[in-house]
Amino acid sequence: MKIIKFTTIIVLTLLTSCVSQKKYTDLENSVAVCEGELRTTLNELETKSNELLVIENNLANEKNRVKVLEKESDYFKSTNTNLLERLSDLSIVSKFGAESIKKSLEALNEQNTYIKDLTNSMQQKDSLNLALVMNLKKSLNNFDDEDINIEVKKGVVYVSISDRMLFKSGSYRVHKSAQAVIGKIAKIVNDHKELDILVEGHTDTVPIKTNCMEDNWDLSTKRATAIVRLMQTNFNVQPERMTAGGRSEYMPKDTNKTSKGRASNRRTEIIIIPKLDEFFNLLAMPETVSSN
């Protein structure tokens, strides 16, 4: 920045001696605009650098956690092997007792293998979530951050969209302008067939009752259904991958005592989750392990 300022002073000094006052003023304004744009670019680069550092730190923490679990698994395997070798030298242990202990140790080995596989699966899921978040933020970069929030909670990716971006007040008709947002999300969802989508509608505590709307339960459910229907009909998301649900006013993000808090609570959340059958298969321990 010091070099830029110094160069600017030299240029302005030279120009003042050979140009009119109007041209000098125009050039001076152009230089000021360039300096402002350069500062903005430097600030944006610094912000991107900070986001990258956070991501790298998260990945490093996950790798360290996996290493600790692998060391524990290796320790258990080594201990079990030593115990099995010593069993052959124990003359006081009956044949029946030795077999029983051997089966128990084999069961422990199976459990260690299960833990290692589960750890690897969790690491893969965390990596996928990170990739999803990065792709979504990149795809939705042109939209207002106040209206769209993307984060990982409870091990799954949440895309929260304010109701002012999607709907008119008290309505479940999706704005035409909002279809671009849903289309970008649907494209990324279609790239990951191994994931399902849960769409949840949320309201504030202000009651509603009209000829076509019974209450906030009704409004939140119809809004979720409208998003699911849009993703299916306009963007070819497979319907069997989606679930629509209304949460009414009972899962607030903020207080309902202020207008700002109520605005934050009026939202639609698109939750990207693993397929439930694959998830339960992942959690199911082998029968030989669970029965011991």
- Which domains does the chain show, CATH number per domain? 143-280 (3.30.1330.60)
pLDDT tens track for 109-119 = 776 665 665 55
Q: Where are the alpha helices (DSSP H) in the chain?
A: 2-16, 21-87, 95-139, 163-166, 179-190, 216-235, 259-265, 276-283, 287-290
How many Å apart are CA 136 and CA 106, to the nearest integer? 45
With 70 as the cut, is the pLDDT of residue 18 above it?
no
How many Å apart are CA 94 and CA 84, to the nearest integer? 14
How many Å apart are CA 20 and CA 18, to the nearest integer? 7
Exposure string for 35-73, b = 16+ CB within 10 A, e = fewer: eeeeeeeeeeeeeeeeeeeeeeeeeeeeeeebeebeeeb
Residue 253 host element (H or E) = none
Over residues 59-68, mean pLDDT? 78
Place of tokens 């430097």: 42
Whole-number Cα distances in Å, 101 to 94, 175, 291:
11, 67, 15
pLDDT tens track for 259-288 = 999 999 999 999 999 875 554 454 554 554
With 80 as the cut, is the pLDDT of residue 157 above it?
yes
8 A C-beta contact, residue 108 and residue 80 = yes
Average pLDDT, the chain: 80
8 A C-beta contact, residue 270 and residue 199 = yes
**CA quadruple 219, 222, 224, 226: dihedral positive or negative?**
negative
With 50 as the cut, is the pLDDT of residue 291 above it?
no
Alpha carbon dihedral 201, 206, 211, 217, in 10-degree steps, equals 30
With 50 as the cut, is the pLDDT of residue 169 above it?
yes
With 80 as the cut, is the pLDDT of residue 201 above it?
yes
CA nearest neighbour of 202 among 239, 242, 161: 161
pLDDT at 180: 92
Report the amino acid identity of residue 209. Answer: K
pLDDT tens track for 209-265 = 988 899 999 999 999 999 999 999 999 999 999 999 999 999 999 999 999 999 999
Position 166 confidence tier, pLDDT thresholds 50, 70, 90: very high
CA nearest neighbour of 232 among 186, 192, 265: 186
To 5 degrees, how large is the angle CA 190–CA 194–CA 198?
75
Position 187 confidence tier, pLDDT thresholds 50, 70, 90: very high
Q: Which residue has the higher pLDDT, 177 or 22?
A: 177
* Nearby residues of 136 by Cβ (< 8 Å), 6 or more positions away: 150, 157, 159, 185, 188
pTM value surpassing 0.75: no
Report the amino acid identity of residue 266. Answer: R
Position 87 confidence tier, pLDDT thresholds 50, 70, 90: low
Over residues 63-70, mean pLDDT? 78
